[in-house]
Amino acid sequence: MKSNVFERRSTTDQIISDSAYNFVIGLTLCWGFFINWLMVTSIEPQSIANVNPWIFFIGYFASCFFGIYLFNKSNKPLVSFIGYNFVVVPFGFIINLVVSNYDAALVTEAIKITGLVTVGMMFLGSMYPKFFQKISGALTIALLLVIVVEMIEIFVFGIHHGILDWIVVLIFCGYIGYDWSRANQIPKTIDNAIDSAAALYMDIINLFLRILRILGRK
């Protein structure tokens, strides 16, 4: 079996039905969102903000990359689920810090919009998988360029152009459609469902954070 989740074309694991496969993806996503909700409601944002920034970001990236490594390399559902949680928790800290700056009604609105957009992009991903495969390279290049431009703007010029948030929203809309289409092209096993959910989780959270920032400006 190939190491990259979405390159898997054969498996010795048990194949499950389409409905069971989608259910596991949904359940795994809901678990991640539930953990994030618990973290937001039970951890004081100031306690996170008080952590040394270097320690925080080193821990954040170390945990995320370790989690990604686990669910990418493993074909065991439990190991993949553990890897997924190594991604969910650091994302939860970021979400906690961000949403603390916004009104609860605005956060709720951002969640609703993110949910609707996600469902819409999943539908498009199912309908036009070849289209999303064609734009995958462009999405990666665009995301890398935006990251570089944002870092230059923030750390060199001390500014941030709102148009970049809209561009990132479009990029992650594309990634949701792309990852969903890929999720339906690999063998439908429990492990692959968890791995696919992990990829979708990162797309959805990034989309949510940008939508929240856009709404906050308005």
Query: What pLDDT is recorded for position 133?
Result: 93
Has residue 150 been placed in a domain?
yes
Has residue 6 been placed in a domain?
no
Q: 104: Cβ–Cβ under 8 A, 6 or more apart, which residues?
A: none
Has residue 27 been placed in a domain?
yes
Q: How far apart are the C-alpha atoms of 81 and 177, rounded to whole Å?
A: 22
Q: For 142-154, what is each residue's pLDDT tens digit? A: 999 999 999 998 8
Average pLDDT of 190-194?
Answer: 96
User: What percentage of residues in the chain have a pLDDT greater than 90?
Assistant: 87
Query: What pLDDT is recorded for position 3?
Result: 46
Q: 160: Cβ–Cβ under 8 A, 6 or more apart, which residues?
A: 150, 153, 154
Has residue 84 been placed in a domain?
yes
Give the global pTM: 0.93
Q: For 198-218, what is each residue's pLDDT tens digit? A: 999 999 999 999 999 999 986
How many domains does one find in the chain?
1
Has residue 5 been placed in a domain?
no
Q: How far apart are the C-alpha atoms of 209 and 218, rounded to whole Å?
A: 15
Query: What pLDDT is recorded for position 218?
Result: 67
Has residue 199 been placed in a domain?
yes
Query: Which of 17, 134, 4 is CA-nearest to residue 71?
Result: 4
Has residue 1 been placed in a domain?
no
Average pLDDT of 45-72?
Answer: 95
Has residue 161 been placed in a domain?
yes
Note down the domain range covering 189.
Answer: 15-217
